[in-house]
Structure 1
């Protein structure tokens, strides 16, 4: 055991980023360079940057939950490997990583995944329980603001789209594809922030409120919690709900400076399509 311990019984190695996470960071950096320089097929570059950046944000989202849980009393998150930022350690990797990636590719929505498992028996404080739930969405909000910051300082002002004679869409402007990908990532973070803060049973927004409910309401909440994700998924595929949801997200994204064209990056990255 290392001589340095963050807490009794927790070695320093529990906080060391895993090789898997380092690999994700490397993919973000390489795909970012490819997109910046226009290396190869630019639509593939944008695809790699958006997806690797999205996975990175998912890891940080779950890490925030685990880190706050650790300092709130649940030291077991260290033993479960959540503090190493390794997505393969999540209790539901399929829900936490694979499904959100598929939804991003198909629908352009930052759908929240399955959260890390927290033993609330060791967290005996309502404020701390709510903070654990709020930590993940707060990470998405911060990520959205950081990604939007360059646009506030004029980056990507010359970004625009054009059609070639063959009908192919091209991205114009200095480093246009990079800024398009960054705008798409920022837009995704706004969608994730909104969805994660909705008071839906089983999701972060609902879990944030759950500690403050009366015992009767908590029992009802716990009954519906396993199905909250499915309910949200079904609602988002309803045309009317989908329209109002994206209208809200577009408005919020505009408030923080994300260019409206950034949303198109989620379509542009589908290099296998005609658009």
Structure 2
């Protein structure tokens, strides 16, 4: 058994779970601050993973996707938000939606800061933790940055139930909005086609193209900062 690969999968799963828990808590906190107490009353402003984890969507699905070597898609229990309770429903819905991806960007930045501190004090850290453990921590930080940026930019894709769908609706009117709501019914099949069918069958990686112009530049910027390049 390749234990390094097993540790890689477990570290990836841990990073995904942390990212999703903070993501969902951020949605709940934003809704509460903007006037809707529903999520707070159900204990969703919490860093306790059990408040947010969906056994299949948060644990099993991403593990299967990591093992398959494909894009990682995960989801948690949806945060209940009642738009009628928000102070400015149309605007605040967008703010609540943006809170999740924004929290993942913050986590990615924190991961870069931790790695920068470790890199600046590499000798001292290695003398305390040992070279192997120090290397494992650095590797996890890079993984943590990549996972959280993936969660942030993936959730900004304008398809339900992803956060980007709430943002796109703000800019659509009339027939365009009606057509978009029609497309929403096929959101999950569309995601499956984009994530797996197009790359596997036709060699068209739309998600990779999207990440190349969104995730990758930010990832490279954070890594350059973290490693002092």
Within 5 Å, give how 1:34-183 maps onto structure 2.
43-90=5-52, 94-107=56-69, 109-113=71-75, 115-123=78-86, 124-152=88-116, 155=119, 175-183=134-142
| Structure 1 residue 229 displacement after superposition | 3.9
Q: Is the 8 A contact 1:50 1:182 kept in 2?
A: no
* SS state at 2:79 partner: coil
| More displaced stretch, 118-127 vs 97-106 | 97-106
| Structure 1 residue 60 displacement after superposition | 0.6
**Root-mean-square deviation (Å):** 3.3
- Structure 2 counterpart of 1:244: 209
The structure where strand makes up a greater share of residues is 1
The structure where helix makes up a greater share of residues is 2
Q: Is the 8 A contact 1:74 1:122 kept in 2?
A: yes
Return 5+ residue gaps in structure 1 as ranges.
1-40, 159-171, 260-275
* SS state at 1:232 partner: helix
The alignment of Structure 1 onto Structure 2 pairs a total of residues equal to: 206
Q: Deviations over 1:122-160 (max 9, x none)?
A: 2243221100000000011111111122444572999xx
Q: TM-score, normalised by structure 2?
A: 0.72
Within 5 Å, give how 1:183-202 maps onto structure 2.
183-202=142-161
- Structure 1 counterpart of 2:221: 255
Q: 1:104 to 1:226 in 2, by over 3 A?
A: farther
Q: Deviations over 1:28-80 (max 9, x none)?
A: xxxxxxxxxxxxx5554444333223201111101111111122222111233
| Structure 1 residue 179 displacement after superposition | 1.3
Q: Is the 8 A contact 2:24 2:79 kept in 1?
A: yes
* SS state at 1:203 partner: coil
Q: Is the 8 A contact 2:25 2:45 kept in 1?
A: yes
Q: Is the 8 A contact 2:12 2:147 kept in 1?
A: no
- Structure 2 counterpart of 1:38: none
- Which whole-Å CA distance do the structure 1 matches of 2:176 and 2:99 have between them? 23
